[in-house]
Structure 1
């Protein structure tokens, strides 16, 4: 009976705590955990990411992000081919296997500046979380929910975006003790759409704690998509 009473007290205390925190307050605590010195705004560094996907060779990427200079570069190698995209203050250049890509190579391998900007936004957003949730156009919901996911309890923050920014609905799962971001999940307009991403281990780059491993799964059936593995070396 004593154990049951203690469990109920702990449960209600946790629920009360999650209700007391607003979405903005939870976000600030998460940012304080991941970027305690506010380094993201002036981030200038290199990330190395290996993408592992079922039945495909690994894709090894070297990514350079310089936010003050509005510079992004990614060099990705898979099998025999290497592609390089540079976006420098909005200007895009594309290389294929060490040389400027020809029009024929661009067409055959689907190389274009739209994809270059997609990579820029993808890597800057995901490795800039949770700090990127402070960007203009992000709508942070005030209510913080308590949710059990994959056997663990989390404080969950909901975010949507203005129409000109994005259409997906995102949920960010934070450790209730440390405020570390451990899961994020997004849904599209259709039922059972979207994916969830499990985060494990950390790499500290330029004073920012970033998830080392990001494992992607479908929401609809838990189907495994792949894992991104981050390294600073």
Structure 2
């Protein structure tokens, strides 16, 4: 017996709905299993492709202007020059009436305070000035502004298993990173946008069981030397969400 028009339409709608349900289930399963299927190294490559599509970090030679805002303190304004091919780094930071300058040129280190490079040991001690601190600044800025590319450095251990986490109400694909003991002891988590692979959060622990350490929220971007760098980095304690401050790339 032939079906009437209404029956044909009902069957057609039912078939269409069934296809939609199947497609939705398939997409859902694909999203859920993505983090299980992709390896940590593949995720890192996708993130690097987003942030540094032309591989410019290896030859980075540019200047960063950064304003650090912290509660109850004057802003710290820093001018930072990084020249990776020449192994050169300099930072000139001004907060209030104090200006410190550190320069590292390969193995040579120079320090100046309020424009004076002929410093007594008393002034150095009083203002915590040392070549050791100069190298700390160099490592700090080249690491943070070289992410995620710096995760390919020697001694970096990429967890092969990618995780999926919800952080502050948003879903991310997450890369866990540890380091050889000679490089560092902290455990880091890098949170990437599951659609674009943009790095939007990172977090570190000294002892994860104690929920110590900090997390950093990244918002907006600024392109420098062809690299998409986070414009704003807001720092918080893991344990209580206490706000520490924000670095702004001007």
Query: TM-score scaled by structure 1?
Result: 0.95
In terms of Rg, which structure is larger?
2
Once the two structures are superposed, what CA deviation does each residue of 1:77-127 show, in whole Å capped at 9, x if it has no partner? 000010000011021110000111332210111111111000000000000
Structure number with greater CO (CA < 8 Å, separation at least 6) is 1
Pair 1:206 & 2:225 matched:
yes
The residue number in structure 2 matching 1:192 is 211
* Segments of 4+ moved more than 3 angstroms: 1-11
Once the two structures are superposed, what CA deviation does each residue of 1:153-182 show, in whole Å capped at 9, x if it has no partner? 100000000010000000000000000000
CA distance change for structure 1 residues 191 and 4 in 2, over 3 Å: closer, same or farther?
Answer: farther
More off after superposition, 130-139 vs 190-199: 190-199
Deviation at 1:9, TM superposition (A): 5.0
Deviation at 1:12, TM superposition (A): 2.5
Pair 1:19 & 2:20 matched:
no
After TM superposition, the structure 1 = structure 2 runs for residues 1-233 of structure 1, keeping only pairs within 5 Å, are: 9-100=26-117, 101-189=119-207, 191-231=210-250
CA RMSD of aligned residues (A): 1.7
Deviation at 1:7, TM superposition (A): 6.7
Alpha-carbon distance in structure 2 between the residues aligned to 1:37 and 1:88: 26
Task: Provide the secondary structure at the position in 1 that maps to 2:210.
Answer: coil
Gaps of 5+ in 2: 1-16
Alpha-carbon distance in structure 1 between the residues aligned to 2:127 and 2:236: 26
Deviation at 1:11, TM superposition (A): 3.7
Structure 1 or 2: more strand by fraction: 1
Alpha-carbon distance in structure 1 between the residues aligned to 2:242 and 2:26: 37
Alpha-carbon distance in structure 2 between the residues aligned to 1:48 and 1:95: 19
Deviation at 1:204, TM superposition (A): 0.3
Gaps of 5+ in 1: none
Structure 1 or 2: more helix by fraction: 2
Query: TM-score scaled by structure 2?
Result: 0.89
Deviation at 1:4, TM superposition (A): 9.1
Deviation at 1:8, TM superposition (A): 5.6
Paired residues, number: 231
